[in-house]
Structure 1
């Protein structure tokens, strides 16, 4: 009697210790086992081995963790105990319905006693289960897809410029993005983004020492204006698939509008939002412009051997779907990027980036491989250097991000691009750089104040032609304050001050004022 009475409570206790994953609080799903030998951390010498073996073989209501362990020594809460008791009762009830002799009477008596003792917890647990079942039924009945999540962003921006050589009017522009994020395994991600809007640049000065250009400067382009003018027609903006290879490698396959920052860290927190409406106002302040040299379809690979080190490499072709001469995946405009990122701590990160690219005649520009002729950042000269020549470019960038204090974030970068005008033996240099200071959660959690001071990409030292154009550094000063109204709504007023537009100090400074409202769901 003593041995039997002892074994039964141990059996139930061991059962309940094995079932915390059946409660709502457990972070991991437990897997049913059919033999105690499947549990790697259970040994025949363990004090509850026989009891556990009896539960597994007689009642089949013992589960293990996905890694094959049992973890029988962990601390158990009363609600977890009740969850295990409830699971065991359901199994035994089913066995009794099939065969009244299938359950040991002493085990049944023990469970009935425990049921009375934990009656309150069981009642609460069953109420929670019914509530969850009801919510799950509602979600399943109204879900968009079992594998796809729909998210979206809508931006409304009121913008005007003051000063400068262009007489612009106040504009009210908008852009909307719909993202269909699909996962088939829980670790992969298929991104399909539709985008529509009427958001375009203001078209500021395009002169330099008397030289007139067919395209305006890209210095005034805001993040929401990057491919933002689709004449209010939805277009396929992004189509990419991301998946892991093991624990340390991830791969990105971009079929349309791929960009290097899809898989490469830009180390610009609070300012980088992938040209969305939750970061800096301008496209320039989002990231080092050398990330914008190239884009389209291709492949990106990220290798992270440790928490401190990350290696990224990618290849993107702007005309990969075009089978014509001088196009395709390898014979058209193309760019290759490699980056080493080092994070010695959670507060500091440093990255060294190299970008090599080829652009056919008229296609060079800091425009994500879009061949806009204007660029999303930089002077007209910097983006029009290849107007009549094909270009080979080599760029290097250094980025850093430093969390100085909980409410102070300092970011910065420096970028250099050497351009070679093919068939002319002429080289030129394009420089850019910035320092960005953010004050997150000031004074309210979720709000962010930001300040950026930098030099937009500008052309200098063009071999044999330095006297033809001015190469005054075009400084960029930007300030904004993102006010978080709710989880789905933010309002961001701010300004952009441009000195020496189009790298010519003879041009009047320009100041751009913006009030941006962003809806996210």
Structure 2
């Protein structure tokens, strides 16, 4: 009996030291350390210029309108979060704890517990977080580790000496935290069982599956424009019901890269033929393909700490690799119209893309994005390839003079080979989409975009686009096209998680054009100005379901005041998973 008591005496100092340190940490939980600096982990998102260019899922936010899906969480952030919640194995030296300094008041106690008694563990990133508040469960876990270490020391010790008072302290501590230790063991057992089930049924160790589905009920109101027979101008549309569903396989091979493969099925109609104008198009309508098809295949990876590279043979759109600065009203739960999503002349190439892009963040105030994409329906043809068919080359400087203001300066050069095409990305008037008939065309497109987060509940944004078009075959005509919009976003309108938005703009319009189909025919210029007026409100049912009623009105469709206004009413339900 005396020998056992002597063995306890050898380890009582370790227990007392651990009790002092853990009790001090409990005191920190009651009195926050106001002098402790706060840190913020910033990740790159193509629609937030203040974020660093890092491999995350946020960059698909605006890309949701360019056949992408916004992910719930990146594999990188998921790994980091998981690792930080699980402590490492026992450290063998206090020097392994990066945030513990010899000048800290508890340094000697920690050194003793770590190096003499082996009673403390750190976090995966090598820190101890001694100034962070702890819970009773965490305290119990630390105490339990020390008690286990005591049993080891007793079993191997040969000396004898201890007092009844020391034994009494030890017994009281064990009794006081017995319920917490028991509960902790139960939680660990449950966690192990759940982890085993997840591992046995997981989809893939490298691939995350996310997706969305939208149900759309809509109708249009107003006569068709630009019809010669008088009796052919009446609205012939009826209320219709359509859907679009997408599955995104997001695969990471290093934790910082991502291969995105999206499967899509869509039967939401393109309203151009029904209403007589592309100004009524949805941002989520079909491109004419039927069944399930690959709508995007893009690989993104970091190049150093400040650069990111995108490569893709399918649907590498500018909105995937460039901040469009319109997150307030864009996205799957934002504006329903195609025009209101973002500046169409610089961010909508008018075709799906195959090519590469590069992004570099010089600082929190300056970011550069470059990209070259060719029409992916021709890029795989050896006769045309990447550089001898329809293409678009983009460059954008994004300036962030403050955390509340982002400004984009964008230039996009487009080339369209002879054939069916549109230079304004399916928006604006027929003359704007195709100013020179079916002749080859080159355009220089300039864009100015901004987003001002005036307050947490009000965002003001907008853009102005200016296009110089040149006819390359069968003539040398020039045309000028403009478009612009102001957007008003209202986050958390009426209720947290809900969003309201108003968009007022002028769809792409031809202001001047030298081209004539025949010497006596009229120039392909728009005589008047259409206004695009849109409002929407997104109601958050829960984290995965949102309902968005929208309405937009087109005055003077096709920029011609001889045409009556056309309205589009939409009720959209979005499911994300």
SS in 2 for 1:261: helix
Residues 71, 176 of structure 1: CA spacing in aligned structure 2 closer, same or farther, 3 A cutoff? Answer: closer
* 2:547 equivalent to 1:491: yes
Equivalent residue for 1:500, pick from 543, 553, 556: 556
Distance in 2, Cα, partners of 1:102 & 1:395: 81
Q: CA deviation at 1:187?
A: 2.7
Contact 2:321/2:357, CA 8 A, preserved across alignment: yes
Equivalent residue for 2:392, pick from 331, 335, 340: 335
Contact 1:407/1:439, CA 8 A, preserved across alignment: yes
Per the alignment, residue 426 of structure 1 pairs with 477
Per the alignment, residue 511 of structure 2 pairs with 460
Q: CA deviation at 1:28?
A: 5.4
Where structure 1 has 5 or more consecutive residues not aligned to the other structure, the ranges are: 207-215, 368-374
Distance in 1, Cα, partners of 2:398 & 2:307: 15
Per the alignment, residue 411 of structure 2 pairs with 354
Provide, for residues 272-316 of structure 1, a one-character-per-residue CA deviation record: whole Å limited to 9, x for no partner: 11xx3x110101111110200264122222222333322212121
* 2:338 equivalent to 1:283: yes
Residues 66, 133 of structure 1: CA spacing in aligned structure 2 closer, same or farther, 3 A cutoff? Answer: closer
- Structure ranking higher on relative contact order (CA contacts 8 Å, 6+ apart): 2
Residues 354, 38 of structure 1: CA spacing in aligned structure 2 closer, same or farther, 3 A cutoff? Answer: same
SS in 2 for 1:330: coil
Q: CA deviation at 1:234?
A: 0.6
Q: CA deviation at 1:503?
A: 2.4
Q: CA deviation at 1:34?
A: 3.9
Equivalent residue for 2:422, pick from 349, 355, 365: 365
Distance in 2, Cα, partners of 1:103 & 1:225: 80
Distance in 2, Cα, partners of 1:106 & 1:379: 95
Equivalent residue for 1:303, pick from 353, 360, 370: 360
Per the alignment, residue 57 of structure 2 pairs with none
Distance in 2, Cα, partners of 1:387 & 1:17: 79
Query: Which shows bigger deviation, 485-494 or 255-264?
Result: 485-494
TM-score, normalization by structure 2: 0.75
Per the alignment, residue 293 of structure 1 pairs with 349
Distance in 2, Cα, partners of 1:265 & 1:224: 19
Distance in 1, Cα, partners of 2:436 & 2:88: 61
Equivalent residue for 1:217, pick from 254, 260, 277: 277
SS in 1 for 2:362: coil
Residues 70, 486 of structure 1: CA spacing in aligned structure 2 closer, same or farther, 3 A cutoff? Answer: closer
Q: CA deviation at 1:4?
A: 7.6
Query: Which shows bigger deviation, 81-90 or 409-418?
Result: 81-90
Per the alignment, residue 267 of structure 1 pairs with 325
Distance in 2, Cα, partners of 1:58 & 1:257: 60
Per the alignment, residue 178 of structure 2 pairs with 119
Distance in 2, Cα, partners of 1:381 & 1:50: 79
Per the alignment, residue 530 of structure 2 pairs with 474
Residues 130, 172 of structure 1: CA spacing in aligned structure 2 closer, same or farther, 3 A cutoff? Answer: same
Q: CA deviation at 1:125?
A: 2.2
Provide, for residues 178-198 of structure 1, a one-character-per-residue CA deviation record: whole Å limited to 9, x for no partner: 112223333322211110021
Residues 12, 387 of structure 1: CA spacing in aligned structure 2 closer, same or farther, 3 A cutoff? Answer: farther
Q: CA deviation at 1:67?
A: 4.8
* 1:185-204 paired onto structure 2 within 5 Å: 185-204=254-273
* 2:208 equivalent to 1:152: no
SS in 2 for 1:461: strand
Per the alignment, residue 74 of structure 2 pairs with none
Contact 1:15/1:62, CA 8 A, preserved across alignment: no
Q: CA RMSD in A?
A: 3.6
Where structure 2 has 5 or more consecutive residues not aligned to the other structure, the ranges are: 1-5, 29-80, 225-232
Per the alignment, residue 101 of structure 1 pairs with 156
Q: CA deviation at 1:435?
A: 0.8
Contact 2:279/2:507, CA 8 A, preserved across alignment: yes
SS in 2 for 1:258: coil
SS in 1 for 2:464: strand
Q: CA deviation at 1:359?
A: 1.7
Per the alignment, residue 402 of structure 1 pairs with 452
Q: CA deviation at 1:419?
A: 1.2
Per the alignment, residue 176 of structure 1 pairs with 245
Q: CA deviation at 1:59?
A: 6.0
Q: CA deviation at 1:49?
A: 6.0
Contact 2:84/2:124, CA 8 A, preserved across alignment: no
Contact 1:470/1:503, CA 8 A, preserved across alignment: no
Structure with more strand by fraction: 1
Per the alignment, residue 201 of structure 2 pairs with 142
Contact 2:464/2:484, CA 8 A, preserved across alignment: yes
SS in 1 for 2:279: coil
SS in 2 for 1:305: strand
Q: CA deviation at 1:44?
A: 6.8
Provide, for residues 18-72 of structure 1, a one-character-per-residue CA deviation record: whole Å limited to 9, x for no partner: 9x9xxx9994555444444444555678776666556555665643445544455
Q: How many residue pairs are counted as aligned between the two chains?
A: 493
SS in 2 for 1:127: helix
Distance in 2, Cα, partners of 1:509 & 1:432: 19
Distance in 1, Cα, partners of 2:569 & 2:269: 15
Distance in 2, Cα, partners of 1:114 & 1:363: 81
Distance in 1, Cα, partners of 2:200 & 2:496: 36
